[in-house]
Structure 1
Amino acid sequence: MLQRFVDFALRNRFLVLSLGAVLLVWGAFSFKALPVEAYPDVANNYVQVITQWPGRAAEEVEQQVTIPLEAQMNGLPKLVALRSVSLFGLSSLMMIFDDDSNNDLNRQKVLEKLAQVNLPNNLQPVLGPDFSPVGQIYFYTLKSTNPAYDVMELKALQDWVLIKQLKSVPDVIDVSGFGGTTREYQVQLDPNKLIAYGLGITQVEQALANNNVNAGGSFIEHGGQAINVRAVGLVQNTDDIGLTVLKTQSGTPVRVRDVAYVTQGPKIRLGQLGKAIHREPGRVVDDGDVVGGIVLLRKGANADTLLAALHEKIDFLNHHFLPPGVKIVPHLDRSDLVHYTAHTVLHNLTEGIILVSVILFAFLGNIRGALIVTLTIPFSLLFAAICLNLRQIPANLLSLGALDFGMVVEGAIVMVENIVRNLGHRSHDPRKTVAQKISEAAHEVQRPVFYAITIIITAYLPIFTLQRVEGRLFRPMAWTVAFALAGGLMFSMFLAPVLTSIVFPRGAREWHNPVMSLLVRSYARALAFAI
């Protein structure tokens, strides 16, 4: 069968070259569209359920929240593991699903189960964002040269404005904010005045809650129109809080401002975010109190597409949206790592191609034959890009760095060297054409070439059986190498004989490499001694 395929390729050279050219063009487009990651995503398919119950001890949270949730979630389809953590005021459930499961469907099933759980009043479990640990693709801080925007104002700007804008970018699943102080309205009560007016803290708290609401009424008919009636009672500033009536004493209202001092102030901080940049040895730019955030990528989304849209969005925010003097400053940008990765891989590939070309020319002694063998490298890489793109497997530094040019060009070296050797020998039958000599030379080595490369591909089969983290880490590498070797095999078996028939129309003269002659003689003596 192999012999018929090779003969068919030599009889239909134009067709084979056309198919090769189509694969090269297709591969170029596929390589350009292929997502490139710094490292593979090794995260499990998981769903996290978070429930907050402020002020409750971990024991109560475990008994009344965590255990009922666990009992309800058991039995979910394709559930592999269920883990939970109960802390003071917080319950967290982590459900890990099979790798073959659909994470969107998993989240839908969890939501259906949550609707059936009986929990204490006013408790509402929520699902955590659908991102993976490698989805933290953009770290930023807010920089302000505007005196009106201190750390508290930057925190409010981020919480109420900036996060909503960044979430509008497709595939941004969430934005985690850090740092700064949270503004709150503070009512600082005077105990002596409370005693003098006969009030308690509970009365003040109840009055503030009752007076910070809007109320809806009916409507008033005015001609042919109906005018809606509503009472607006939400507080707008500290003066509104101070005017809240607590009680009436001797016909005089007692207000909040009579017993307390109302102001805006920072909420009690539980931590602080700092930023340090090491520019050169001995110089550190340190800012001990900053406001920043992390943009999270949706699990399974294309990071390159998101980063391009995110950069465009941040440029718009910096120049047309944020207040004067306030800027978003990137701290860690995944695109920088991807660019460095792509540059390193392309640099190594270029050096490898040049090195292989030089060595092939030195040993083959024929520049045309060396160039044909060198073409195996870009062809196999582009063929691998086509297959990876079709299977939607992103490329990464591990998979691209695992490519061994020696294995890729092995079959082409054997094929081209044997063809050049046969063309250089005088045939016993002078009527044989160059095409017939090339066909005979290809038939001599086609089976060894096919089985040698097939055995190498077979050696990667155990990697495809790896599961979970190991499989997600190494399977993309195995697929990349297998596809590249398959492309090299295709080139060696079909394109290499066709190209040699074109570049050697009148045959070739074999060059006897003195280094190879010395190695052959040494090998012959060693073999004779061993036998």
Structure 2
Amino acid sequence: MQRVIRFSLNNKLALWILSLMVVIFGLNAGMTMPLELLPKIDAPILTVSAVYPGASPEEVQDAVTIPLEKRIQGLEGVTRYRSSAYENVTTIIVEYDYDIDIDRAKQALDDAVKSVSLPKDVQDVRSSKIDFTQLPVIALSVSGDMGRPELTRWADEVLLPALRGVKGVASIEVSGETTRRVELTFDEKALQDHHLTVDQVKQIVQGMNMSLPVGIYDVAGQEQVIRLSGSLHSVEELKDLPIPYQPGPGGSVAGTGASAGAGTGIGASTGSGVGGGAGAGAGTGAGIGPAPAFPVPVDGAGAPGMTGTGGSGVPPVGGSSSGAVPQGGAIPAGSGVPQAFTLPTVPLGELATVKVVDFTDQLSRTNGREALGLQILKDQNANTVDVVEGVQKELDRLSKDYPEMHIDTTFDQAMPIRQSVDTMLSKALIGALVAAVIVLLFLREVRSTLIAVISIPASLLIAIFVIRQLGITLNIMTLGALTVAIGRVVDDTIVVVENIYRRLFLSGESLRGKALIEAATHEMFTPISASTIVTVAVFLPIATVSGPVGQIFKPFAWTVVIALLASLLVAITIAPMLAHTFFRKKAERAGETMTRSRPVSGASGQALSSIYGRMLEWALKHKAVTFFSALFLLVASFALVPVVGVSFLPSDQEKMIILTYSPDPTLPPDKAKQAALDAEKWLMAQPGVRLVQFSQGAGNPLRPGGGGKDTLFYVRYADDFPDFAHEQVRVLDTLKDTINQGRWTLMQQGAGMSGSQFELRVIAPSVQAAEPVVHKVEDILTKRSDLANVKSDLDQPYPEISLIPNRQALADHGLVAAHILGVLTQGNKDNVITTLNAPEGSLDVIIPKKPLSYQNKDELLDQTIRTPLGTETPLKDLVTVEEGTSPQVIKREQGEISLAVTADVLVKDVGKVSRDVQKEVEALDLPSGVKIVFGGVTADIEDTFTQLLWAMAAAVLIVYLILVLTFHGGIAPFAILFSIPYVLIGALVALWLAGETISVSSMIGFLMLIGIVVTNAVVLIDRTIRKEAEGLSTHAALVEAAKTRVRPILMTALATIGALIPLAFGMEGSALISKGLAITVIGGLTSSTLLTLFIVPIVYEFLMRFRVRKSS
């Protein structure tokens, strides 16, 4: 390293140019570096989803979920799998080892899923990767003084095209928009008068609206394309569509039968009809249903039924013909001459009201106005801030062009990022100024202070340039790391500059000029390099921390490591170069008597050294008293651990409440809508509320799996609203009391890892086995005052009436179970029968749903079903009834039923709550095969803290190894390690005074302290060993080293503390990591520095005496 120092002194111009390049490249990297909220998390998680239309959660579980699970569990690398079976859909989450090749794993999963035999009606079986970054980067609410249809058209024609053109926008999800469609509302009397049914008309419309190529044929010696072009192009054309019908009830076409409805998956079935006349016939059809009123051939023996093609759009015909024929075109039965006859027709417009409507089944409102909700997602490689800024520019332009439109931002991921950048930059600047003031107070010389301060931007700019090349983004973790590093990067330069400055005024100094500066710098290289490498080494174990926490904190560790290594480089290159530039005259006259020019710091430094020297002399003479007094303080500090408490990560304090409302399953849609409107009215009346936006019936990425009546509320408050945590609880409690037909949930938001939701899961072979245990756990949690919003997966089950078909009774009446299904599902959902190719675009032709409604169970069972024989049979004669409940979702874990019980923790000490609940739960007498697993924040704390504790243990061993290699022995390093335990005293006291808990951020602070506090001890012991080598006794060497090094030790410690003080205040989004870490380092460094100055010399002298005695 001496060559590097000499090069810096001999090539100052080159170094100035290199420094200028560092500034340019560093600033450019900082300005072009992508800004994100958090580092990207590449979780080894895949999901499998499948849709099973019309199936209950139990049916989905048995027919889809379990077969898929059996195939998935044997795949390579799978560590855990969980599933959720909802009505119509299932989702399976598959977790892998973190070292798995996720692309190969996905291919293997795809192959496995394809090999599973599932019911033929199962659709959309697919797998996908979990991407935590694919949340909306910005959510908007669009409203205006117009109806929802006009609002939708303006969004489709103006807003959406403009936003889709923004660079980086991947997709836009819209809620609350209307869809133009054609609705057919049938006149039941008109249908009866024409002996038609809805199904018959539907099939005729489908068969008439058809356009497809027939093929290539030889026509007049030339090959020509034949095409059937029967498409409908307008509503008027649809109204005028002729519908054939059978005028008399005795004809063959008006067969009887029940329809199973579209999409039920019923295959071929038989149909029969009864009619008067000379002959009768039977036929088969492609679906269960009455015959359409199409012309059919008739012969004397009765016309056989026609075979339909169902799915091709040609109506299936099933039924029997009779000898009766209509007037005008009938051939008498028995003539044996089959001839066609024509049927009368009626326009569709006389059978049904045909109209174009703007339809929506979603509700979206903002501040009491009809609104559209927009959620904008970015490309995977796009930058969040750039995308949001591009969107905001378009919105500003549109606001000028369309002042009547109101566009409000309900969610903005870029805002906390920008706030974090601004906050961190301001705190970094303040921290650097505080550090500079502290250095100035010690050195009392502006130029020396300037050299130390220059090391801060130089080190940080080098770090920014390097992490930019490594592909690390600028986020709250890397920003926090850069801010935390400010207090440490100045240390190496301070030590070097202080030693240079000391030797400039050292009486009898023999060296001059560059030689003096080179020697003074090289003298400190061993301690500063050892201390820097030690500090860097403590972050190596973070690489072993797995899971999302490890991925989030690795960029933090990389940033600190690179900044510290950069500071070491600056200390041995730029610092000596600047020292020679600023102190050239002094360096040439070093060692001479310069009483007049000697700064005040010389006298104050000597006074400090003298006072500390006398204190150390006393401590060395009273080793037992000093050592055990410090040990008593250390042991006593452990009493603060339960007082301080434990949590995972702090929640941010953005003034927004995100609520979800899940109405009771039995609550009709109109009442669920009114409940949401009542909640909106109450929320808007609350003081401090600036915006209330809600959407009902629309899926949202913040709460997947929600039902069609679920409602999501965004409530934004004024930025200066006081006591916001209490307001959140008040709002939630009031809504629960006033709108109590459903479940209200307060959602945690922020960086994605904060929060304090308590969760445990009851694992059992069946729901029946788990249910009593779940209720017992709910009772335990409900009784606690520190928990709220207790709920479980057993909450709000659907009341269920099971109709079990009586197969013999069905057979006796010529029916099958599908006939019951057809009657009960008739009109249960919108029926898209065809599509108009209108000039303004494609319009779906819909028969709107008209779900059957019953006053009670008896009314349901009293309805009749028409048999193929033409008779009416009550439903109660065909089924037996069982009543019960059906869960909204069935969750499984590792192939067993998993029922979660969750609650919100109302206190900071989440760890104490978890421990207390664990004790109560462990006292429960669990049935055989039932177990309880803790999840949520309890599992987060246990897993992450365990890994961090192991990382600390590994860091201590690494530190010891480096020190052994540095000092070529084990005694000095062992003494140095005694500086580490005493960080607990100050850190715990500081956390207690600040009202903070032991969290992940404070644990990272403890990890940093291992490296920081060792630095002070290294500087002290290195000087002691040098003086011992010069012939001083251990005692004399310790006293001399302590007097010499006390000023740089206190200076570096106070500079680090001063730089961190701005981070210890405030709860901005950037404080997710920085606040707890800063408080921990400030407190721990204070106590350790003060005690290190006494404990380490005591231990070192004791060990050296022990070694001498052992040798003699």
TM-score range, shorter chain: 0.7 to 0.9
Q: Tell me, what secondary structure is at the counterpart of 1:290?
A: strand
Could you say which residue in structure 2 is the equivalent of 1:94? Answer: 93
2:344 aligned with 1:252, yes or no? yes
Separation in 1, partners of 2:229, 2:350 = 23
1:522 pairs with one of 601, 608, 611 = 611
Q: Over aligned residues, Cα RMSD in angstroms?
A: 3.6
State the alpha-carbon separation in 1 of the partners of residues 224 and 186 from structure 2.
Answer: 41
Q: Is the CA contact (8 Å cut-off) linking 1:423 and 1:434 kept in structure 2?
A: no
Q: Rate the CA distance shift 1:371–1:177 in 2: closer, same or farther, 3 A.
A: same
Map of 2:506 onto structure 1 = 425
Identity %: 25
Aligned partner of 1:296 in structure 2 is: 377
Aligned partner (choices 511, 514, 520) of residue 599 of structure 2: 511
Relative distance call for 1:153 and 1:133 in structure 2 (3 A) is farther
CA–CA separation in structure 1 for the residues paired with 2:82 and 2:166: 32
Question: In the alignment, what sits opposite 1:33?
Answer: 32
**TM-score with structure 2 length normalisation?**
0.42
SS at match of 2:492: helix
Q: CA deviation at 1:293?
A: 1.8
Distance 1:312 1:222, change over 3 A: farther
Q: After the TM superposition, which of the residue ranges 458-467 and 250-259 deviates more from structure 2?
A: 250-259
Tell me which moved more, 213-222 or 435-444: 213-222
| Aligned residue number for residue 549 of structure 2 | 470
Matched-pair contact (CA < 8 Å) for 2:431–2:487:
no
Residue 20 (structure 1) aligns with: 19
* Equivalent residue in structure 2 for 1:371, among 450, 453, 469: 450
5 Å-filtered alignment, 1:8-407, equals 8-42=7-41, 44-74=43-73, 78-99=77-98, 110-111=109-110, 113=112, 115-121=114-120, 123-126=123-126, 131-132=131-132, 135-145=135-145, 147=146, 150-155=147-152, 171-218=168-215, 230-249=227-246, 251-265=343-357, 267=359, 269=361, 271-275=362-366, 286-299=367-380, 301-311=382-392, 329-402=408-481, 403-407=484-488
In the aligned structure 1, how far is the partner of 2:153 from the partner of 2:364? 15
Residues 216 and 229 of structure 1 are in contact (CA less than 8 Å); yes or no, is this contact kept in structure 2?
Answer: yes
Tell me by how many angstroms 1:224 deviates: 13
* 8 Å CA contact 1:207, 1:245 repeated in 2: no
SS at match of 2:502: helix
Q: Which moved more, 1:102-111 or 1:519-528?
A: 102-111
* Conserved? CA contact 1:79–1:97, under 8 Å: yes
CA-to-aligned-CA distance 1:110-162 (integer Å, 9 cap, x gap): 555555454444623345686425632111122344x4xx3245446667996
272 and 102 in structure 1: CA distance in 2 versus 1, 3 angstrom threshold:
farther
Distance 1:74 1:161 in 2: 49
Q: Which amino acid aligns with 2:47?
A: Q
Post-superposition Cα deviations, 1:323-381, rounded to whole Å, max 9, x if no partner, equal 99667654333333322221111111222222222222222111111111111111111
How far does the alpha carbon of each residue in 1:178-219 deviate from its partner, in whole angstroms, 9 at most, with x for none? 224444432222223322222223223323333444222457
Query: Equivalents in 1 of 2:423, 2:417: separation in Å?
Result: 10
- The 2-side partners of 1:397 and 1:485 are apart by 19
Cα distance change, pair 51–242 in 1 and its aligned pair in 2 (3 A):
farther
Distance 1:72 1:246, change over 3 A: farther
What does residue 278 of structure 1 align with?
A: none
CA distance in 2, matches of 1:165, 1:245: 44
2: CA distance between counterparts of 1:351 and 1:127?
50
Question: Helix, strand or coil for the counterpart of 2:192?
Answer: helix
Q: Which amino acid aligns with 1:175?
A: I
Q: CA deviation at 1:176?
A: 2.5
SS for the counterpart of 1:392 is coil
- Using a 3 Å threshold, how does the CA distance of structure 1 residues 63 and 344 change in structure 2: closer, same or farther? same
Work out the CA distance in 1 between the residues paired with 2:149 and 2:452: 65
Secondary structure in structure 1 of the residue aligned to 2:373:
strand
Distance 1:428 1:238, change over 3 A: closer
Match of 1:411 among 492, 501, 526: 492
Moved more, 488-497 or 397-406: 397-406
Asked if the contact 1:156/1:182 (under 8 Å) is kept, the reply is no
> CA separation of 1:235/1:130 partners in 2, compared to 1, >3 Å: closer, same or farther?
farther
Offset from partner CA, 1:89-119 (integer Å, 9 cap, x none): 1122333445455666655555555554544
Q: Deviations 1:472-495 (Å, cap 9, x if unpaired)?
A: 221111111111111111111222
SS in structure 1 at match of 2:82: strand
In 1, the alpha carbon distance for the partners of 2:39 and 2:419 equals: 16
> Unaligned regions of 5+ residues in structure 2, if any?
248-342, 588-596, 621-1112
- Any stretches of 5+ residues in structure 1 without a counterpart? 276-285
Amino acid at match of 1:132: F
Do the aligned partners of residues 305 and 384 (structure 1) sit closer, same or farther apart at CA in structure 2, a change above 3 Å counting?
same
AA paired with 1:347?
S
In 1, Cα distance between equivalents of 2:161 and 2:47: 22
- CA distance, structure 2, for counterparts of residue 337 and residue 21 of structure 1: 32
Give the CA deviation at 1:80.
4.3
Q: Which amino acid aligns with 1:65?
A: V
Q: Structure 2 CA distance, aligned partners of 1:172 and 1:45? A: 25
Residues in 1 aligned to 2:160 and 2:32: alpha-carbon distance in whole angstroms: 30
Q: d(CA) in 1 for partners of 2:519 and 2:176?
A: 74
Q: Summarize the Cα distance change of 1:419–1:405 in structure 2 as closer, same or farther, 3 Å threshold.
A: same
Answer yes or no: is the 8 Å Cα contact 1:30–1:386 preserved in 2: yes
Between the aligned partners of 2:350 and 2:422, the Cα distance in structure 1 is: 69
Which AA in structure 2 matches 1:3?
Answer: Q
- Please give the per-residue CA displacement for 1:376-397, whole angstroms capped at 9, x wherever unaligned: 1111111111221121111212
TM-score, length basis structure 1: 0.83
- CA shift, 1:416, in A, is 0.4
Residue type of the alignment partner of 1:24: V
The residue identity in structure 1 corresponding to 2:25 is W
> Residues 233 and 82 (structure 1 numbering): CA distance in 2 closer, same or farther, change over 3 Å?
farther
Checking the alignment, whether the CA contact within 8 Å between 2:45 and 2:129 is kept in structure 1 is: no
Q: 1:126 to 1:414 in 2, by over 3 A?
A: same
SS across alignment from 2:138: strand
Assess if the C-alpha contact under 8 Å between 1:140 and 1:329 holds in 2: yes
